[in-house]
Chains A and B, each alone.
Chain A
Amino acid sequence: MTEPHLEEFDFPPELKAQPLPVVGISGLDTLNNAVHRNVWEAFNNIKKQNRPLVNFKLITPDHEFPPRKPKKPSYECYIPKGILKRNWMDKHLNHAPAVVIMFYDLDWNDPQWAEKQTECASRVKSLKLTLDGRHTKIALVLIQQDPPIPNGEEIIGGEKSLSLIAECEINRNYLLLLPYNNNVDQMQGYVLNLQGTVYDMANLYFNQLIRDIKSHKSSLNKTIHAYLFIRHSFKIGFYSEMKAEYPAAHKHYAQAYYLVAEVKRTPTNVTEVKVVASYIMYKMAALSFVLNQAREAIQTFHGHVDKYKFKFGNELLLFEHHAWLMTITIFIITKDPLTELPLWRLPVSRSELDLSTIQSINSIFIMPSTSDLSMDIKHENPALLLECCTVSDPLQGQSTLDYYGQRPWRPGKLSAEPPDMKKEKDGIQALQYLEKTQVNHSVIIIGLLSDAIGQFNTYRCPRMKKYLVIQMAEEYLTSRDYGKALTLMSHMLGDYRTDHWSRLVSDIVKPGLYCAMVTASVREYLALSLDSDNLQSVLSNIHRVMNNEMPPVIQYTNHAHNLDELRALWAKNLSHEDNASIELELNPVYSCVRVKTRVVYEENRYKLSVFVRSLFLEPVTFSTLTVCIGHTDVLVASNVTFPPNLVVQLDTEFVPLSRHINTEVTITSVSLGMQTQYRKLVLKFIITKDPLTELPLWRLPVSRSELDLSTIQSINSIFIMPSTSDLSMDIKHENPALLLEWYPITITLSNQGSEPLVNLSLLLSCEDSENIDVSEDSNISNQTTTPGMAKFPLNKSLDSIAPSETYEMVVYVRCTVVTVKLLNVKVTYSHSSEPSIVLSKDESLKLDIMQAFEISASFLSDSFEPITVFHSNEPVLIQPLIACISPCTICIEDTSISIPDSIEMKQETKCQLELSTGQIVTCIASVVIKEPKNLCLGVFTVKWRRKDSSLGLVTSCIELPRVDVQPLPIQLSLNLPAHGLVRTPMTICYTLYNYLSTIVTVQIIMESSEAFIFSGYKRVTIKLVPDTEQEFKFKIYPQLSGLVVLPEFKINLVSKHEGVTQQQINDMVVRSIPSHIYVLPQAKNIELQPLSKVIAV
């Protein structure tokens, strides 16, 4: 669809484009020459990677540059026909190059240097010829391929280059080199350098142009040349923008804008002034955004709108003025696909803007309120329109006019000339005709609205967005897209309703209802009817729909509808199976039926009350009333009729289910069902905790005979407690439990009520069921796995307990670590009269697990000395100590030490006694370790029970420590009588045993002693054969009595011997033989008698 007159107000692409100097690239044959193609690509690449400084254009050899206008001899008699020329910006953006780069393939060492130099020079000259009269700069770039790539700076000063410059007649600085490389990326650096040079050249070019313009200034006359002043300022601004001197550009644009405002407006030039002013304003605002002054840009825009708001010119074309206002308004919010520039992108995140800027942005959208304007366009337009413009279209050639903003029927005319009335009239009529016939306002408006909605969404203005959505819906309605309008309206309705903006709700309901009626949307029609405040007809309309009848036609717009078609549509939709059952969600406080609920616990019953107040003007009957509480539906009443405006209370009992016990149940909804043979309608009132409906504490009690809904405090949730009164549970046990024992717990259930309890189930559970076993078997022994053993949780069910009967059960638990365990006992049961109600009772008990006794072990030598070093083949005494730490007396039935094979048990004593707290008992075992190695001395086992327990024995084991056993190379033992008598000879026998596998030579010395006279070897050297023993017998004759030191027996190694050291032998001697003997005095006959008496005592 063409929109000729709107197009005029739209910003032309050349205005929106970012101005970049045009740089012509000539001499590249991209079609046939691969090298040239790559060079051209490298230039194109700049655009992708960096922000380009210039706009490269490929120029073919036969390119024609825009002709230069003949210079005006004098401005004095020149009268401008318009302000801005339509083709001027385009010319500088695309066609008139600031710089032309001439590419030429030439290496310094080219064999045909002379010929090529001449050819190159001739090309440059012909280029100069075509550009004759322009200030366009020319640069010559030599594409060089030969390695080594020379460094450009040094070579340019060379002889060859100088001759080239001279022949081409170009500036010495404008000869450049481009070392060619196949890799486009590597060439990038050279290309960027080149761009920089070219950019500087372009700046010179524009400086020249600006100077030219400024030179005209003196010859201009303010009265005649007002337009030229504007044009020149604009041009300077534009050139400055080309040079990327944005502040300067902004300054000149601002000057131009100021000059436009000065122009005297007449009906003939008002459009032109307006258009040009807004173009300049666009430039200014765009630059402000570039300069990061978003606020300034918005101010510029505001000021502009304020200034031109009421300058509408011809009354008949008021719509055009509004269109213009609208276009400049939306330019900020629409994203133009042509200009993917960063210019108009508003800062994305909110934090980038300070508050006032947000507000101004808000006000941009709100201020001219786009849709208002566009609606004006529509309504403004008089109905009288015309079938004119038949013969010759006065609008022909509108888009090809020389100047922006002029009327096609009056091109290039001066404002001072009196208008041709006939032409003027035709033109206006033609515009009106176009506006009427060819422009679909709704589409434009909806497009604008959706853009605005997008913006408000970004800036998080939910309410403004909603408002625009409503406007959009109304626009859809106007354009007869009832379905879309209805969808939008019903979506927004909910939000307005939750915030209680009833006035707005009722405003939306009316068109909504109309849309639903026209589109025969059954569900939406019913929903909107219930929201309507026209209560008179609501009920009858609903009844009609329920009975498959079409509701009455509503008139909202002047749109004409075919009644028969509507009827057919309704009939079709009413019989659709989707509409057979409809559920609508309603607010319990703000709907045509108001609902409150209470659930209370009274007299062992949960009482559920529903209060309903119908606002309909007639009595209304519902087939069902159900309440959803705790995810179960409770039918409160069926076939209930509510009189108008009276509160009806309906009570029922809520019977909690087992899953409700110990939870808080909440009423989530109340459903009112209405049913006819055709369809089922459910009004579902969602009960929520709405702070608005929560009554303040100080609300006055109103004493009225009838119920008032507002005074009823709703109670929507209740905690369901388990009923426990009839069953008592008693748990007996004797804390603490001892480690490893089977610990009995007695649970006694007794029925204290008057009726039997049935379906009992007892659950014994433990949160941490590691290391704990449970059993019901009283014969359970201490074995680790027995058939009677179970794991937690233990479940036991029981059929019934008669009144005043008890049931007792004993469970045994065994814990294998010292800890604290928490056991839970839970009994669920029900009364025989109401088996469906499950009641429960639970209790928990704490078990402290502790050890019965502590066992430690000590080790003694043959002579009962504590030892730390163990030697093989020497007897060791193991002495375990059992210290009772249990609070109750325990009986030790048996103890035993089990030893590994490498230890020989000589003798063992066992314990069998009672121990109370703090008592210690010991037993002993004599063992000989046969092999020198690291080994465990065995396991000590105690079998015990509690003194008063009848259960089996508990076996506790403790592992004796590991020890390192040292080897014993040579063993010495002494056979000595228990005591000696003074002056009575006796025989002692030393025995040496060699455990080594080699012969050991030792010297035996028996030192002399004062206390004894002895006979035998005093000093002898012998060989000890492996695994044999050798005896040394001595007859000793004690001289003194008392505890006497024996003569010292020494064993010396004669030579060094592997496996045995002298130190080892000395230690062994000290350890293995006694050093003293008790010598009794000689018995004297007279004294013998009393002595024997003493001994007898």
Chain B
Amino acid sequence: MAVCVAVVSHNNSPKYIACVNPDNELEFHYKVHTSLDVIEEKLSNTGKSNTESREFYLGILYSTEEHTIYGYVTNTKVKFMIVTETSNKLLRDNEIRAMFRKLHSAYTHIICNPFYVPGDDIKSKYFEQMARSVMVS
């Protein structure tokens, strides 16, 4: 359902970007990068109020005529983004949330791996598998 999944670190460098069609990879890189503007905007607005009760899911960051980008930010400012096709009207908000939760738990899983150095690019089979499942399902 998703066409692209991205993980961006707290200092806005990409950690993992995968997409269904490798030909569009560059386009998605740009899209994910530009969506960070919206995420930062949203974070700076909510940052003033209570940070603890902030919801991770940010909703639609923006939609173009082809793609819609959703955002999700953890407490440690690790950003997850899911790109879907705008034409896919069947997708519900709940399903997107579920996808993000899945990604988040997968991310937590690899962070717990003592051989993974936080800050490195994510090169985990498990995470890859989970990301693929989000894109295919």
Contacts and interface: CB of A to CB of B under 8 A. Distances in A.
Given A366-B62, A696-B118, A503 B26 contact: yes
B30 A359 contact: no
Nearest to A699: B117
Interface stretch (A98-106, A458-466, A856-864, A1040-1048): A458-466
Contact of B65 (A359, A368, A698, A699): A368
Contacts of A504: 26, 29-30, 33
A110 interface: no
Contacts of B1: none
Interface in A138-170: none
A464 B63 contact: no
B34 A367 contact: no
Contacts of B61: 359
Contacts of A507: 26, 29
B25 interface: yes
A1017 interface: no
Contacts of B42: 355
A234 B60 CA distance: 36
A387 interface: no
B2 to A, nearest CB: 19
B64 interface: yes
B29 A358 contact: no
A362 B118 contact: no
Interface string B36-61: 11100110010000000000000011
A499 interface: yes
B34 A358 contact: no
A420 B118 CA distance: 71
Contact of B29 (A366, A501, A698): A501
B36 A501 contact: no
Contacts of B29: 501, 503-504, 507
A425 interface: no
A369 interface: yes
A692 interface: yes
A464 to B, nearest CB: 5
A216 B86 CA distance: 45
A366 B31 CA distance: 10
B63 A367 contact: yes
Nearest to A691: B11
B110 to A, nearest CB: 15
B62 A501 contact: no
A363 interface: yes
Interface in B52-89: 60-65
A466 B31 CA distance: 12
A467 B30 contact: yes
Nearest to B61: A359
Nearest to A468: B34
Interface string A685-711: 000000110001011100000000000
Nearest to A373: B65
Contacts of B115: 700
B33 A696 contact: no
Given A367-B65, A467-B30, A700-B115, A355 B45 contact: yes
A53 to B, nearest CB: 40
A697 to B, nearest CB: 11
A504 B12 CA distance: 14
B41 to A, nearest CB: 7
A504 B30 CA distance: 7
Contact of A366 (B14, B26, B41, B64): B64
Nearest to A305: B65
Contacts of B41: 355, 358, 460-461
B129 interface: no
A309 interface: yes
A500 interface: yes
A696 B115 CA distance: 12
A464 B13 contact: no
A500 B13 contact: yes
Contacts of B13: 499-501, 692
Q: In the complex, which range does the number of interface residues on chain B fall in?
A: 20 to 34
A696 B13 CA distance: 17
A462 B37 contact: yes
Interface string A334-378: 000000000000000000000100110011001111000000000
A467 B33 contact: yes
A858 to B, nearest CB: 74
B17 interface: yes
Contact of A461 (B37, B45, B65, B118): B37
Contacts of A699: 117
Contacts of B117: 696, 699
A299 to B, nearest CB: 14
Nearest to B13: A500
A470 B65 CA distance: 21
Contacts of B17: 503
Contact of B33 (A362, A463, A691): A463
A994 B115 CA distance: 117
Contacts of A466: 33
B14 A463 contact: no
A501 B14 contact: yes
A461 B36 CA distance: 9
A460 B65 CA distance: 23
A692 B62 contact: no
Interface string A656-694: 000000000000000000000000000000000001100
Nearest to B62: A363
A542 B56 CA distance: 48
A358 B33 CA distance: 18
Contacts of B60: 359
Given A355-B45, A463-B37, A699-B117, A503 B14 contact: yes
Contacts of B36: 463
Nearest to B118: A696
Contacts of B30: 467, 470, 504
A692 B11 contact: yes
Contacts of A463: 33-34, 36-37
A700 B26 CA distance: 34
A467 B63 contact: no
Instruction: Identify the interface centre among A359, A366, A691: most chain B CB within 10 Å of its CB.
Output: A366
B12 A362 contact: no
B82 to A, nearest CB: 17
Contact of B62 (A359, A696, A698, A700): A359
Given A499-B12, A501-B29, A692-B119, A467 B64 contact: no
Instruction: Identify the interface centre among A367, A463, A464: most chain B CB within 10 Å of its CB.
Output: A463
Interface in B91-137: 114-115, 117-119
B34 A464 contact: yes
B60 to A, nearest CB: 8
Contacts of A464: 34, 37
A362 B11 CA distance: 23
A362 B34 CA distance: 11
Interface string A470-506: 1000000000000000000000000000011101100
A510 to B, nearest CB: 11
A455 to B, nearest CB: 13
29 contacts: A359-B60, A359-B61, A363-B63, A363-B64, A366-B34, A366-B64, A367-B63, A369-B65, A460-B37, A460-B41, A461-B41, A462-B37, A466-B33, A467-B34, A499-B11, A499-B13, A503-B26, A503-B29, A504-B26, A504-B30, A691-B11, A692-B11, A692-B13, A692-B119, A696-B117, A696-B118, A696-B119, A698-B114, A700-B115
Interface of B: 11-14, 17, 25-26, 29-30, 33-34, 36-38, 41-42, 45, 60-65, 114-115, 117-119
- Nearest first, the 9 A-B pairs at minimum CB distance are A500-B13, A461-B37, A464-B34, A363-B62, A463-B34, A463-B37, A503-B29, A366-B64, A367-B64
Given A464-B34, A503-B25, A696-B117, 18 more contacts: A309-B65, A359-B61, A362-B38, A362-B62, A363-B62, A366-B62, A367-B65, A462-B37, A463-B33, A463-B36, A467-B33, A467-B34, A501-B13, A503-B14, A503-B29, A504-B33, A691-B11, A692-B11
